[in-house]
């Protein structure tokens, strides 16, 4: 069962769950319009039915290219947005606060065109533009919302947010070195290693960094045949990292031995923009692509439970077929659980709900947000 949001009639490529919100099912979408004021649209899905309501927050400074939310404060988010300057366009980054009155339950109905718009409050800029254009901002996942990393051209910048996030102080930084125009495309902060590791992608290379010294700890050259688009860490296995790119592939790496990927998927027929591990059940992996499809995969062989949950015969109901005596249980096989084809345009973003581990959202460039659920049979199989 899937739910499609009321159309927002904006182009969009930025999507994030509200990370610190663990009760309401809430996703934020950032728009890209050259004609109208851009906005962050907050979508809430009712837990009891399929009604999706929305609130609009004006983001008047420019087109939104990337968005991320504080892990500690529900009201705080960061955006990367375009700002024309002199002869070129720079992508800047800023931290914002949402209005206090946007509490769950106070939402307008989706078909109410007169729903009031609110404006985001600027807390601080992260864009000392001497470093160039910002590709993304990533928060320390288990932190207090005071540390963020931004990737600007060839620079990785660690910021301390002070004075209730109204001031960003550059704590340390490092730069890519080498020939040509080196530019970061994406990065993720690992939830492991007490928050000291970050992975970044530039061109076809993936690098790991130690945030204490801002030094490189591993490097996967030619990780993909073309540009690496996105990265994500396995929430339960500290050395496992997923990547995807313009070679249509999704790869899984053990960062202790980066000579070869542990596993490679070739299920998409165009660029893969996004890869996301489920926060609770790391065998569930979500990908979105310019082929307009969202694919949910069961990567059980490289998950934290590669043999699934072992179930005693006594626990099986009479309806379930019992295994013949003497046959050992085969480990479950990796497989595609489902392919979702509700989008008609490139799927630029996919992500899991922070409130419901079985719910995920996907966003295509035409502004369509679709919320889907992990198939019930698989959910119960995992929970057994």
Task: Examine the pLDDT at 19 and tell me if it is beyond 50.
Answer: yes
Mean per-residue pLDDT, 351-376: 93
* pLDDT at 315 (0 to 100): 41
Q: Calculate the CA dihedral of residues 298, 304, 308, 314 and round it to 10 degrees.
A: -150
**Amino acid 105: pLDDT:** 46
pLDDT at 173 over 70: yes
Q: DSSP letter for 239, please.
A: T
State the average pLDDT over residues 332-337. 87
- Specify the pLDDT at position 35: 77
Residue 354 has pLDDT above 60, yes or no: yes
pLDDT value, residue 325: 46
pLDDT at 383: 76
Cβ proximity of 384 and 317 under 8 Å: no
* Count, residues in the chain: 384
Predicted confidence (pLDDT) per residue in 70-102, tens digit = 999 999 999 999 987 777 888 999 999 999 877
Total Cβ atoms within 10 A of residue 312: 6
Q: Is the pLDDT of residue 349 over 80?
A: yes
Mean pLDDT of 198-206: 96
**pLDDT tens digits, 183-193:** 999 999 999 99
**For position 31, what pLDDT does the model report?**
93
Distance, in Å, from the CA atom of 38 to the CA atom of 299, rounded to the nearest integer, reads 38
Give the whole-angstrom CA distance, residue 93 versus residue 134.
6
pLDDT for position 324: 43
CB-CB contact of 381 with 362 (8 Å)? no
Percent of the chain with pLDDT over 90: 70
3-state helix, strand, coil in the chain (%, to 5): 5, 50, 45
DSSP structure class, residue 108:
B
Beta strands in 86-236 (DSSP E): 88-97, 117-119, 121-125, 134-139, 147-152, 155-162, 167-175, 184-189, 197-202, 205-210, 215-220, 228-233
Q: In this prediction, what percent of the chain has a pLDDT beyond 70?
A: 87
d(CA 362, CA 240): 24
Q: Give the pLDDT confidence score for residue 103 in this predicted structure.
A: 54
Q: Mean per-residue pLDDT for 263-284?
A: 94
Q: How confident is the model at residue 379 (pLDDT cuts 50, 70, 90)?
A: confident
User: Residue 285 pLDDT more than 60?
Assistant: yes
* Residues linked to residue 144 through DSSP beta bridges, in sequence order: none
Instruction: Tell me the pLDDT tens digit for each residue of 209-257.
Output: 999 999 999 999 999 999 999 999 999 999 999 999 999 999 999 999 9
């Amino acid at each position: 069962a899937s739910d499609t949001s009321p159309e927002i009639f904006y182009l969009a490529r930025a999507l994030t769950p509200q990370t610190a919100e663990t009760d309401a099912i809430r996703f934020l979408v950032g728009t890209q319009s050259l004609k109208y004021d851009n906005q962050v649209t907050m979508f809430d899905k009712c837990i009891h039915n399929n009604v999706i309501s929305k609130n609009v927050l004006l983001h008047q400074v420019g087109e939104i290219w990337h968005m991320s939310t504080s892990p500690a404060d529900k009201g705080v988010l960061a955006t990367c947005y375009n700002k024309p300057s002199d002869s070129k366009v720079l992508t800047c980054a800023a931290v914002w606060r949402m209005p206090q009155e946007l509490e769950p339950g106070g939402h307008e109905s989706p078909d109410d065109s007169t729903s009031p718009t609110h404006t985001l409050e600027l807390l601080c800029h992260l864009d000392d533009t001497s470093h160039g254009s910002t590709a993304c901002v990533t928060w320390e996942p288990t932190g207090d919302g005071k540390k963020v990393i931004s990737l600007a051209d060839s620079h990785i910048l660690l910021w301390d947010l002070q004075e209730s996030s109204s001031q960003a102080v550059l704590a340390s930084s490092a730069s890519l070195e080498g020939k040509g125009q080196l530019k970061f495309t994406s990065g993720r902060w690992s939830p492991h290693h007490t928050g000291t590791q970050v992975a970044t992608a530039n061109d076809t290379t993936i690098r790991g960094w130690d945030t204490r010294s801002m030094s490189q700890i591993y490097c996967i050259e030619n990780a993909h045949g073309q540009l690496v688009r996105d990265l994500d860490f396995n929430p339960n296995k500290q050395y496992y990292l997923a990547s995807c790119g313009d070679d249509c592939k999704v790869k899984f790496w053990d960062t202790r031995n980066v000579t070869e990927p542990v596993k490679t998927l070739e299920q998409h027929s165009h660029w893969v923009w996004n890869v996301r591990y489920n926060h609770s059940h790391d065998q569930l992996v979500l990908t979105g692509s310019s082929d307009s499809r969202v694919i949910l995969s069961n990567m059980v062989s490289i998950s934290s439970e590669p043999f699934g949950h072992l179930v005693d015969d006594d626990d099986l109901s009479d309806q379930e077929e019992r295994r013949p005596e003497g046959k050992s249980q085969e480990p479950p096989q990796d497989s595609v659980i489902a392919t979702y084809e509700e989008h008609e345009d490139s799927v630029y973003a996919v992500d899991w709900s922070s409130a419901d581990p079985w719910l995920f959202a996907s966003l295509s460039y035409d502004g369509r947000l679709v919320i889907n659920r992990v198939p019930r049979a698989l959910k119960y199989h995992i929970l057994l």
